[in-house]
Amino acid sequence: MKVQRGSFDSIRPLEGPRALSLGTFDGVHRGHQAILRELHLVASRADLAGSTVVTFGLHPRGVLSERGAPPSITDLDERIALLSAAGIDDLVVLDFDAQLATVEYDHFVNDLLVRRLNMQHFVLGHDVHFGRERRGNALSVAALAEDVGFNVSQVASVRDAGLAISSTRIRAALQAGELDAAVRWAGHPITFSGVVEEGRKLGRQIGFPTANLPLAPGKVVLASGVYAGWARAGEAGWQAAVVNLGHAPTVSEDGPLRLEAHLLDAELELYAKRLELALGTRLRSERKFGSKEELGRQIADDCAVARRWLADPPLQARPARLADLELDSSAPPA
């Protein structure tokens, strides 16, 4: 996937007619994957030059709303990786700023999408709004398409339990500790990454060494608790892991929020290395124990429970989904 990033005026032209979609794509969840699936089908059936996604480096609400942007499910690097895993040919990352917020939707479409990015078919999500004062929507785009001469299709929402899957719904699930639901709606495990920091080495003292990751600013903060998933550093491959997010109340009354990962089957030197985490399920909430020894026994139980779950996790929770979203066949049913 080719990626270019810049301001509205700096984006370079693409050659050949394109199927294109526009959106924030936070989380690249199953609703987004339905849009990307349609993008692939349109490009293939019409024998177009490729599929293009236009997204934003920062959430538009960071500029448009006094409350600021919502916490992100995926940072920009994670979004780019997932869109690449979806097989997109070209990704355009726009810097959303006050100037872009004033661009009328028809100018945005005519100048950027049609003239420079060679859009021939516009694939819209079910709730699309863009341009100044959000005037770009399904109706206004359809009218513009007749005047300018491009095709339009709109993808219906993907629903679970009668409600549309959305980034907002996934954020709320993560904050409430409902990771299984969030993974089901996302269609892939929930990821975090960062450079391993030096910790207090308390886990090592009770037989469970951990790698400590900083909490990325702007990312959604999960409910405190213990999670099962995987960890990866560089080319080492995914390793089974138990991850704790919390304040370590057993050893500190007012400790900071920490993200710690214990690798179940590998002893790797991880300090100062970049570590990726893929969380698949939540095992329990955080608790305060009477002693370090009691905490150690509970961690041993957590590891055993994690091993049983990791032996046969749901397909959408497996880290292989992060490398290949298999848009044509593997999305769980609504």
Q: Which residues in the chain come in under a pLDDT of 70?
A: 201, 203, 253, 326-334
pLDDT at 21: 99
Q: Does residue 329 sit within a domain?
A: no
Q: Domain range spanning residue 229?
A: 189-322
pLDDT at 332: 43
Residues 111-152 pLDDT 10s? 999 999 999 999 999 999 999 999 999 999 999 999 999 999
The CATH number that applies at residue 42 is: 3.40.50.620
Q: Is 94 in the same domain as 30?
A: yes
pLDDT at 334: 40
Q: CA distances (Å), 116 to each of 104, 153, 238, 318, in order?
A: 16, 20, 40, 38
pTM of the model: 0.93
Residues 295-325 pLDDT 10s? 999 999 999 999 999 999 999 999 999 999 8
Q: Is 14 in the same domain as 152?
A: yes
Q: Does residue 165 sit within a domain?
A: no
Q: Is 155 in the same domain as 17?
A: yes
pLDDT at 327: 57
Adjacency order of strands within the sheet including 225-233? 190-195, 274-284, 225-233, 239-246, 258-263, 211-213
Closest CA to 202 of 126, 323, 291: 291
Q: What is the number of structural domains in the chain? A: 2
Name residues whose C-beta falls within 8 Å of residue 247's C-beta, 6 or more positions apart in sequence: 224, 254, 255, 256, 257, 258, 286
Q: Is 145 in the same domain as 193?
A: no
Contact between 295 and 4 under an 8 Å Cβ cutoff? The reply is no
pLDDT at 268: 78
